[in-house]
Amino acid sequence: MATGGFKPIYVLCGSDGFLQDHYRAEIISRVVGQTDPQTCIANFDGSLDLELAEVMDELRTLPFLAPARVVLIRNADAFISKYRQKLEEYVDNPCKTSALVLMVASFPKTTRLARIIPKIGDVLNCRLPDDTSLQRWLTKAAGKRGKKIDAQSAALLEQWIGRDLAAQNAEIEKLCLYVGQRETITPADVEAVVTATAGPAAFALTNAITGADAPGALKALDGLLRIRGAEFQALGSIAWHLRRALQAQQEISAGGKPNLKMPYRQQSAFLAMLKRRGQRRLQADMRSLISTDLGMKSGMKPKAALQELIMSLCS
């Protein structure tokens, strides 16, 4: 949202509850300042046969003990369709002491209303981000707290938590407190602080690779690839697994004991994999991963590339 003052109309488009709450709170704070919101906010439900006259009366009511008022309409899709022309007329000459907030599931850009609102107001996206923009969202969430998060850490959060923005925001808050004076959140920080909640499917692939269970790993991959764009999530999961294995192997080679942040029952299988593959093979596995990544980005079919990689890791 643009900073400074408030605008006479806002459209919150999309159904993600976290983003809706975030933008709604920001708009209210900007419009009413420190005033008690109960005295200067009118709430309506657009799905309940709402009349335009009720809304206009509230918009034209002068604020009491506040700089301005907020008139908020939830489920406003039907209301907009019914009164589109009147709303267009209102946008041409809006009240200067009120902000109209329309919460909608969709807001087609082809309508005149959608074209003119951005000139005097804001249209705010409340849809869940896709896999690519989720990492950008995580970067911004960390940046607001004065921290940076590297791509590997963001990918790990995506794998472990999924696209639950409320949960992701809570994890970013914890991570920023955990790193203290350090500037950047790392994969090691995520492993130390975050508990995976995306369900057993998040680990089925790497668990099968750990046990050299090629059929199980291929089955887990099929399950992951049912979601569009999940091929790079699967690759990121394998990359995280190999980085963890290499780090543990290096600690063993240096005469130390690896710090395995995993349930005790999984540690024996993981240590057996380290012994079975050794440091050279794990390094070769990482080169295979990089080759697979480049192949997928240069036109190779993702599923075939990942299947080939999995067979190599389980051999």
Predicted confidence (pLDDT) per residue in 76-85, tens digit? 999 999 999 9
Strand order in the sheet with 69-74: 41-45, 69-74, 98-104, 9-13, 122-125
pLDDT tens-digit readout, 46-89? 888 899 999 999 999 988 777 899 999 999 999 999 999 999 99
CA–CA gap between residue 99 and residue 70 (Å, rounded): 5
CA–CA gap between residue 104 and residue 271 (Å, rounded): 52
**Which of the four pLDDT bands, split at 50, 70 and 90, describes residue 124?**
very high
pLDDT tens-digit readout, 167-200? 888 899 999 999 999 999 998 888 778 765 555 5
| Contact call for residues 6 and 68 (beta carbons, < 8 A) | yes
CATH of domain 9-125: 3.40.50.300
CATH of domain 199-315: 1.20.272.10
Residue-level pLDDT at 222: 85
CA–CA gap between residue 131 and residue 140 (Å, rounded): 15
3-state SS assignment for residue 197? coil
Domain borders along the chain are 9-125, 128-198, 199-315
| Residue among 271, 305, 272, 269 nearest 289 (CA) | 305
Q: Can you read off the two tokens belonging to residue 81? A: 């369709």
CATH of domain 128-198: 1.10.8.60
Query: Which residue reads 């999940």 in tokens?
Result: 230
| pTM (two decimals) | 0.55
Q: Can you read off the two tokens belonging to residue 119? A: 């000139």
